[in-house]
Amino acid sequence: MPELPEVEVTRQGIDEPLRGARVLDVRLGKPLRWPLGCRRDRLVGTTVGPVLRRGKYLWLPLSREGHPAGGLLMHLGMSGSLALLAAPGEPGPHDHFDLSTDRGALRLTDPRRFGAVVFSPALDEPPASRLLARLGPEPFDPGLTAGAVHKALRNRRAPIKAVLLAGEVVVGAGNIYACEALHRAGIHPGTRSDRLSAARAAALLDALRQTLARALALGGSTLRDFSDVHGASGAFQAEAAVYGRAGLPCPRCGRPIRRAVHAGRSTYYCAGCQRR
């Protein structure tokens, strides 16, 4: 958390308001996951371009007098959120980055400080290119076919839940949405990836797309810290079929939802509906 829907909701919230904004100042708080990687004054006077998303990363391209001037690669970590503030006021103890512009301030709040704001000369140059190198295809990419997913899964022997979380076959399915997509597709989270048939791989891709699309429509999920740039919480968690519902009846078959811990992450599933 935040996962792809929350990051995309954030992108949509800041793209239009900041497009064409001029950077006036940069404030750094406590250190984040990685250092900024440039002097703050290098950013002052630049103009923000269209905000892009790649997986769970946001890219804020910058220009100076019409020429590319690098950009900021942002990650919300485990507990981060961005707010667009007309009058930001004094930063709190968990406010670790402010990008002040002539259209307001973009503020990163991150209690656990696993997030990051990193300068890169370009999206296809280090450090941005290095951080994005292992990300798989976007789930809504028209070029991502069920056949391509099945082929990629056949080369992996790990449990399908772990493969989804790794983000190399398809990016953006974090813990919440991996659990929900697997339930929708009727696939047990412990099923070995290379044993999924082509039909089940197709069902999984379809389920993942449906799950993420619904989450986007509901503003993502808010379990603890996430809110959009205007402070609103997501609502998908209220519709979750399995995530966080251990012991409650499966909405499909009525059997109790189970919880297991895999690699330190909680996994929720229905033993009746989800078969290996």
With a CB cutoff of 8 Å and minimum separation 6, the contacts of 90 are none
Catalytic, 2? Answer yes
Catalytic, 3? Answer yes
Catalytic, 151? Answer no
**Per the residue annotation, which of 2, 5, 61, 189 is the catalytic one?**
2
Spatial strand order of the sheet with 104-109 comes to 23-28, 95-101, 104-109, 81-85
**Per the residue annotation, which of 11, 56, 113, 161 is the catalytic one?**
56
**Per the residue annotation, which of 3, 6, 8, 180 is the catalytic one?**
3
Separation of alpha carbons 58 and 55, rounded Å: 8
User: Shortest CA distance to 239 belongs to which of 173, 176, 182?
Assistant: 176
Peptide bond into 126 cis (omega under 30): no
**Per the residue annotation, which of 33, 42, 154, 265 is the catalytic one?**
265
**Position 107, amino acid:** R
> Is residue 11 a contact partner of residue 220, using CB atoms and an 8 Å limit?
no
> Is residue 76 a contact partner of residue 115, using CB atoms and an 8 Å limit?
yes
Catalytic, 125? Answer no
Q: Provide the annotated active-site residues.
A: 2-3, 56, 265
